[in-house]
Structure 1
Amino acid sequence: MSLAEASDARKARLLALRKRKAGEGEVESAVDSVITHRTYDPETRTLKKHATDGDVEMDTVEKNVDGLAEQIIKEDEERRIQELDLNNIAPKRPNWDLKRDLEKKISRLERKTQEAIHTLIRQRLAAQKGQSDDLAGALQAQADRREVENASDSDED
């Protein structure tokens, strides 16, 4: 775009802006003739008069909930009386809370107990076969074999 073209485009925009401003001026004068306020009543074309508090009956939340609090309190008291039965208060099993609290500890102990039982069984089996790493278990296994041999020798006699 050349400088002449840019200048012509700018002149056209300025001319359009001037026309628009001139047109708005006429509209503004028409708008000024109509009063636009919150207190203006367009039907009577006068200002609204302020109403006193006694003349206007307003629907408020307080009126809607009037007496609701007392009703809720009465219903709550009736419900508490019904729920106060001793059968509803006492748990079905008196030790349910103890079982709940000790369940984690007991599960750990049960696992360790099972491991200990398995190791004892393995040691006894190994001792019976004479493959025990435990010196006492090996000596016991030899003593058991001697007793079995002596018993079988005495039975043969």
Structure 2
Amino acid sequence: MSLAETAETRKARLLALKQRKADRLISSTGVIKNRNFDPQSRTLKKRSAADDVEMEDTIEKNVQGLAEKIMAEDEGKREQELDIFNIAPKRPNWDLKRETDKKLAKLERRTQEAIHTLIRQRLAAQKGDSNDIFGAMEAQEQAQTEEDALSDED
């Protein structure tokens, strides 16, 4: 084969390859449309009058009177007299009781423990049982150490 013949066969193969590639692009994507670009003049297309048709339902039209309506309602609320009864709390001492619930829960638990130890001590003293008195005294000492530890935390 001569050099010219190989060049001709190569050109034919390249043209066939380009044609197959172009056919594949058109078949996969369909027809390529340039909506805003004119490939012949290499410029942007001009907008037509049909493109300028306004949409009938827009956000601007929906909220057109909304700002004035809100401002009018706000002015009406400002004009109303300030009612002191609406400001006052339902219970006069709610703020005094607000933070005491947690502290009262701790104290209630400690009170119940102290009552139980006192009852055990009295029952043990009535029976005259030394083991119960000793157990009651240990419980009292343990409660006392717990109370000291909790008071240090506060």
- For the aligned pair, the TM-score class normalised by the smaller chain equals 0.3 to 0.5
Using the size of structure 1 for normalisation, the TM-score is: 0.45
Larger Rg: 1
Give the alignment's TM-score, normalised by structure 2. 0.46
Question: Which structure is richer in relative contact order (CA contacts within 8 A, separation 6 or more)?
Answer: 2
